[in-house]
Structure 1
Amino acid sequence: MWRNYEASFNVASLKPIAYKNKSFVLEEFFIPVERFDNFYPELIAILKKNRVNVMNISVRHANRDSGSLLAWARTEVFAFVIYYQQSTDERSKDQVGVWTRELIDAVLANGGSYFLPYQLHATSDQFQQAYPQAAQFFKLKARIDPENKFSNMLLERYRPETVQ
């Protein structure tokens, strides 16, 4: 079998990423290298308990990011990239939020973090714990963009009231 056989397909021949009632989604969680063996059984248990329709989990490696205020890799980490299918009704979205917050708690207990740009299921406390330099980031953002011309849902959800 040719290693990159699937990559040779025309993208138009692949299934769409979203349908009317369901979507394929990614979430990504970062665990310090030395905590891999502690985290992955928790990951599997949470996904099984919540009956998550997982298509694939990729494990990637990333070096420490020492320059970003919202760094997801404060140490050398393994990234667990979960590709799953979810229904798009409100109840299903709420269920995804439940198991995502459970995974974030497991990640935080292991000294890790999660990738910000996906669905915003993390609580404000989880966000603050995963991104301890967030206050510094929001102050810098307010200084550079006092009119808040550049914004997004993540900023609106997690920015402290005092910085707006």
Structure 2
Amino acid sequence: MTTDNTVTVASRLHSADTRYWWQPALADFVADYAVAKRLRQHWLDPLLYRQPAVHWRNYEASYDVRELEPADRTQQTYGLREYFVPVSKFDAFVPQLASVLQQHNVNVLNVSVRHALPDKGSLLAWAPQETFAFVIYYRQGTDEQAKQHTDIWSQQLIEAVLAQGGSYYLPYQPSASPAQFQRAYPRAAEFFQLKQQYDPQNRFSSQFWAKYQPPFAAGV
């Protein structure tokens, strides 16, 4: 967002030498205890955001991933999900989002809402119209049961957002079913045809390709 107001933080970038120790510890604390979530909601966040902040754009873009990196990912890890809802469907989607997360007891640390302008040119455009994006930051286990649990609530949220004419963000864990992917990205066939044209040997692949590419793109 552009503003003529005076910046409240003069630095244009975060220092590369910054040591992140309290941020990961705080994330673990919030994830571990329900009371910590309430403390954050009713005390910490109001304190941190009591005054409007004006930062340089590059300052906001230069946060280091170490700020969120836990000490160990052996048994638990953090993940992101993002769901795009047409502006007119904001009020309809919010209670559906809350219902699914509460029903499945998802360990949510944060839900951010951002605004996205339409993208009418990309074949895999997640915002063909003006949208609000709901970004969910959560913690989950790393065992197979935990992964299946994440897939279940993720697919339910995808159904909810598709019902409102929206979509979901592709780069995260591929929980969506192939049918859901096709509904969210109706121009996917054109995209895969181009992939086949420029990479007929399928040299470039990923979990995304393995799950969603049609047979012709897989060289079958």
The verdict on a shared fold, with TM-score over 0.5 as the criterion, is: yes
Q: Percent identity?
A: 48
Is the contact between residue 202 and residue 217 of structure 2 (CA under 8 Å) also seen in structure 1?
Answer: no
* 2:114 aligned residue (25, 45, 60): 60
Report the equivalent of 1:27: 81
Are residues 1:147 and 2:155 paired?
Answer: no
Amino acid at match of 1:85: R
- Larger gyration radius, structure 1 or structure 2: 2
Is the contact between residue 140 and residue 146 of structure 2 (CA under 8 Å) also seen in structure 1?
Answer: yes
Gap change, CA 1:64 and 1:151, over 3 Å in 2? same
Report the equivalent of 1:121: 175
Report the equivalent of 2:96: 42
Report the equivalent of 1:81: 135
Report the equivalent of 1:70: 124
> Structure 1 stretch 17-26 or stretch 31-40: which is displaced more?
17-26
* 1:157 aligned residue (211, 214, 217): 211
1:77-114: CA deviations, max 9, x gaps? 00000000001111011000000000000000000000
Report the equivalent of 2:65: none
CA distance in 2, matches of 1:69, 1:111: 17
Gap change, CA 1:47 and 1:151, over 3 Å in 2? same
TM-score (norm 1): 0.92
Amino acid at match of 1:84: Y
TM-score (norm 2): 0.69
SS at 1:142 equivalent: helix
Unaligned 5+ residue runs, structure 2?
Answer: 1-7, 25-68
**Which has a greater percent of strand?**
1
Matched residue count: 160
**1:20 CA displacement:** 1.2
Unaligned 5+ residue runs, structure 1?
Answer: none
Is the contact between residue 200 and residue 217 of structure 2 (CA under 8 Å) also seen in structure 1?
Answer: no
